[in-house]
Amino acid sequence: MFSSRVPGALEPNRLTQVLRRLRAAGAPLLDLTLTNPTTAGIRYPESILDALADARSFTYEPSPLGLIEAREAIARDCERNGIKVAADRVVLTASTSEAYSVLFKLLCAPAGDAVMVPAPSYPLFEHLTDLDGVRSIPYPLEFHGRWAIDFDTLDDVWSDTVRAVLAVSPNNPTGSMISDSEMSNLVSRCATREAALILDEVFIDYPLAGVPASPRRPFECLTFRLGGLSKSAGLPQVKLGWIVVDGPEPLARGALERLELICDTYLSVSTPVQHAAAALIAGGTSVRTMILERVHTNYRVLHDIARGYRSIEVLPSEAGWSAVLRVPSTRSEEDLAIALMETAGVVVHPGFFFDFPHESFLVVSLLPEPAGFADGIRRVMELAHA
């Protein structure tokens, strides 16, 4: 839940210590950091996992990039967001996290090469790069009415060891989308500097304002688009992610050949989930609809409640499952988060968990059940406003 902020640290930080103590004491807590849809009161179709019992799965036929029927199902599903891709450009992984690790192995030499990662963003990147012996170089997103890439700083910190730029659209937790002009700038930099673009689009199915636009034009640089059933179908437990390889044909073909060797080394994607992929994607449609209704409801409630607290600003979010609050800097984010747990019985994320550039931000999930969400937000506003 809360990062230690120190790679490889064994000691829990102060926030985690307080949370563990309160839970051990049985304190009632409203968890506004919930990101697991399977525990959020979403009603899943009882038959959604039936396809995992396909009898064909008794026979093991390893395929490094994934069974073609599963790759075809994912290619068809990508068309919902305007992404046209051939099935042979789809690579299956057990998760988006594994997809990152596979790509770091593909693109980077350990203990030297680097990837650029956005900030604020999810702290998972710090741990993933550490585990693969790759350096992460943050580049900032700045808020001026909307979140945007600071290209001047990105250029300043870019070095000749950079092998890839990570772009998350929609971003977690800011909910911001990369604009067409920003995407063009990123692609042109990667193309001229011989770096790859890793485009994480796992939250693309959850627009909060309008319809998120996924880049549709061909990429001039080697590009890897990431997705997975964890978000698109609300099924984190079935462990199926994917990489869509895009870019100039020679680069894409060479990358696919090397990816086949890497994936053949691990063969981590289970046979049952590959045979079930088409059915899981179809069954996930209703789950996705319910999750989208949930986050829309809570996002409206959040804005309604915030109108009564002029000192607190709900930053605009275009898509995703999270919302960002800018609160008065009367105390540190850490102290406020602890006070919310101890005196208000509410768990939130402080902004520093996601590398926000300064105080004072809180991040809340839009997934909790509406009644508890509204109660928790009122408690947050009362304490943060005071």
pLDDT in tens, 244-268: 999 999 999 999 999 999 999 999 9
* pLDDT at res. 174: 97
223 and 314 share a domain?
A: no
28 and 70 share a domain?
A: no
* pLDDT at res. 5: 40
Q: Is residue 307 part of a domain?
A: yes
Per-residue H/E/C for the chain:
CCCCCCCCCCCCCHHHHHHHHHHHCCCCCEECCCCCHHHCCCCCCCCCCHHHHCHHHHCCCCCCCCCHHHHHHHHHHHHHHCCCCCHHHEEEECCHHHHHHHHHHHHCCCCCCEEEEEECCCCHHHHHHHHCCCEEEEEEEEECCCEEECHHHHHHHCCCCEEEEEEECCCCCCCCCCCHHHHHHHHHHHHHCCCEEEEECCCCCCECCCCCCCCCCCCCCCEEEEEEHHHHCCCCCCCCEEEEEECCHHHHHHHHHHHHHHHHHHCCCCHHHHHCHHHHHHHHHHHHHHHHHHHHHHHHHHHHHHCCCCCCEECCCCECCEEEEECCCCCCHHHHHHHHHHHHCEECEEHHHHCCCCCCEEEEECCCCHHHHHHHHHHHHHHHHC
pLDDT for residue 357 is more than 70? yes
* pLDDT at res. 219: 86
**In the structure, what pLDDT confidence band is assigned to residue 130 with cuts at 50, 70 and 90?**
very high
Domain boundary among 282, 317, 336: 282
**In the structure, what pLDDT confidence band is assigned to residue 10 with cuts at 50, 70 and 90?**
very low
Q: Is residue 75 part of a domain?
A: yes
352 and 265 share a domain?
A: no
* pLDDT at res. 3: 46
pLDDT for residue 212 is more than 90? no
The whole-number average pLDDT for the span 65-80 is 97
* pLDDT at res. 209: 81
**In the structure, what pLDDT confidence band is assigned to residue 12 with cuts at 50, 70 and 90?**
low
234 and 293 share a domain?
A: no
CATH number for the domain that contains residue 338? 3.90.1150.10
pLDDT for residue 52 is more than 80? yes
Structural domain for 367, as ranges: 14-43+284-385
Question: Structure pTM?
Answer: 0.94
Q: Is residue 1 part of a domain?
A: no
28 and 81 share a domain?
A: no
How many domains are contained in the chain? 2
Q: Is residue 5 part of a domain?
A: no
128 and 83 share a domain?
A: yes
Query: pLDDT tens digits for 280-301?
Result: 999 999 999 999 999 999 999 9
121 and 143 share a domain?
A: yes
Average pLDDT, the chain: 94
Q: Is residue 6 part of a domain?
A: no
Q: Is residue 289 part of a domain?
A: yes
231 and 116 share a domain?
A: yes
100 and 239 share a domain?
A: yes
